[in-house]
Structure 1
Amino acid sequence: MTKRTSAKYKIDRRMGENIWGRPKSPVNKREYGPGQHGQRRKNKLSDFGTQLRAKQKLKGYYGDLTEKQFRRIYAEAERLKGDTGEMLVGLLERRLDAIVYRAKFVPTIFAARQFVNHGHVLVNGKRVNIASYRVREGDVVEVKQTSKQLAIVLEAVGLAERDVPDYIEVDHSKMTATFTRTPGLSDIPYAVQMEPNLVVEFYAQN
């Protein structure tokens, strides 16, 4: 098991939720935390604990971003006009690795980051190997010609466990995806409830 795969399952267990809706998630069998005392950890969380958990869940969902990365995105969301929570998830969904994952070019968000980093992705015909690259409305994301027959890509396209959201237009015959608009919270197909408003509260108080 790679470090990334391990991280993915650790996050699910720590949260006690199958946050990506994956059939193989250990939470499907054991809905309690990891470790010797995992089954006993059912104490009611404080407001701080609830807010922290919401932040960890959202941060973990996008490939377990570092606190520094996540805080920077939050600061940017705060500067934008409108609801900060909505702006936050909108910025997260515009990350190139998130688009690659949503378009079903790869099976997981962790695979998406690696896929981008290894140079398999083009944006508007130019190679981009930075997972955090911010995609704009109208941008076309494409799997590089020599990478279109990779096993990981063919496997992901056939996954029945999730659908491509309507703010991305995908042509799997050409392996292209057009980002049509920045989504709001209600547009994003999270497998579990995300609460960006609690993340806003967390940063406002800490």
Structure 2
Amino acid sequence: MKRAGKTPRFKRQRRLLVELPGMGKAGALERRPYPPGQHGQQRRKYSEFALQLEEKQKIRFHYQIREEQFRRFINKAKASKATNWVEALVNMLEKRLDNVVFRLGFAPSIPAARQLVSHGKVLVNGKKVNVGSALVKVGDKITLKPEAYDNQVYMQAKQSPRLPLPTFMSKDEVGGKEEGRMTDEPNLESVPFAFEPGLVIGYYSMRG
């Protein structure tokens, strides 16, 4: 599986001036809250295109999706009956199994969650699903294989949660093991960082 680019995750977040939780470890902007490079601390002038591009990149980098895959999600969102296709896009991205595993606190980042899924450690309604892009439905129960609860990835996430549990999910402990459930449909407010949907719409309205 290719990553969404080879630029170091902290540098990518500093360039966008926002922390993207899906990329993992916090602190990208703590010591250097300005873009990388020798001119990083100088005030930048943004064109409308640059603003639109950066807003789109926030979404893509947080969810760790390649550009061609991202465009497929956008085409599906535009083809939906949703009034706002960006909200339909967010709904699908938040329901991806790799993201759900991350948001439940079973992994410290989306790439780590994707690895758990691809290694067959994640169960949906008791059945193994090893495709990170599989969409979880409201009511679905998400658990890990018994041995995965002793996995270092899971233990790290449990000890240092990256995000609070979102309102569209619930989590309980059953028999000493955590299990999560999607209880509602995600919406624009489910995105765990600030972004402007209108800029994303503007970017793709000019480019098909």
Q: TM-score range by the shorter chain?
A: 0.7 to 0.9
Structure 1 counterpart of 2:177, one-letter code: K
Residue number in structure 2 paired with 1:15: 16
Residue number in structure 2 paired with 1:95: 96
- Gapped regions of structure 2 (runs ≥ 5): none
Structure 2 counterpart of 1:48, one-letter code: F
Q: Deviations over 1:24-53 (max 9, x none)?
A: 42311101212233223x322111111111
- The number of residues matched between the two structures is 200
1:33 and 2:30 are equivalent in the alignment = no
Q: Do the aligned partners of residues 72 and 137 (structure 1) sit closer, same or farther apart at CA in structure 2, a change above 3 Å counting?
A: same
Q: Do the aligned partners of residues 205 and 19 (structure 1) sit closer, same or farther apart at CA in structure 2, a change above 3 Å counting?
A: same
Residue number in structure 1 paired with 2:186: 183
Assess if the C-alpha contact under 8 Å between 1:18 and 1:28 holds in 2: no
- Tell me, what secondary structure is at the counterpart of 2:20? coil
Residue number in structure 2 paired with 1:73: 73
1:120 and 2:121 are equivalent in the alignment = yes
**Distance apart, 1:105 and its partner CA:** 0.3
Provide TM-score, normalisation by structure 2.
0.87
Q: Deviations over 1:49-94 (max 9, x none)?
A: 111110000111112x111111111111111112111111111101
Structure 2 counterpart of 1:181, one-letter code: D
Provide TM-score, normalisation by structure 1.
0.88
Q: Do the aligned partners of residues 84 and 7 (structure 1) sit closer, same or farther apart at CA in structure 2, a change above 3 Å counting?
A: same
> What's the RMSD between the two structures over aligned residues?
2.2
Assess if the C-alpha contact under 8 Å between 2:106 and 2:154 holds in 1: yes
Q: Distance in 2 between matches of 1:112 and 1:23?
A: 14
- Tell me, what secondary structure is at the counterpart of 2:99? helix
Structure 2 counterpart of 1:79, one-letter code: A
Correspondence list, 1:123-202, <5 A: 123-172=124-173, 173-186=176-189, 188=190, 190=192, 192-202=193-203
Assess if the C-alpha contact under 8 Å between 2:172 and 2:178 holds in 1: yes
Residue number in structure 2 paired with 1:48: 49
Structure 2 counterpart of 1:165, one-letter code: P
**Which has the higher mean CA deviation after the structures are superposed, 49-58 or 142-151?**
142-151
Assess if the C-alpha contact under 8 Å between 1:165 and 1:189 holds in 2: no
Q: Do the aligned partners of residues 104 and 47 (structure 1) sit closer, same or farther apart at CA in structure 2, a change above 3 Å counting?
A: same
Percent identity between matched residues is 37
**Distance apart, 1:199 and its partner CA:** 1.2
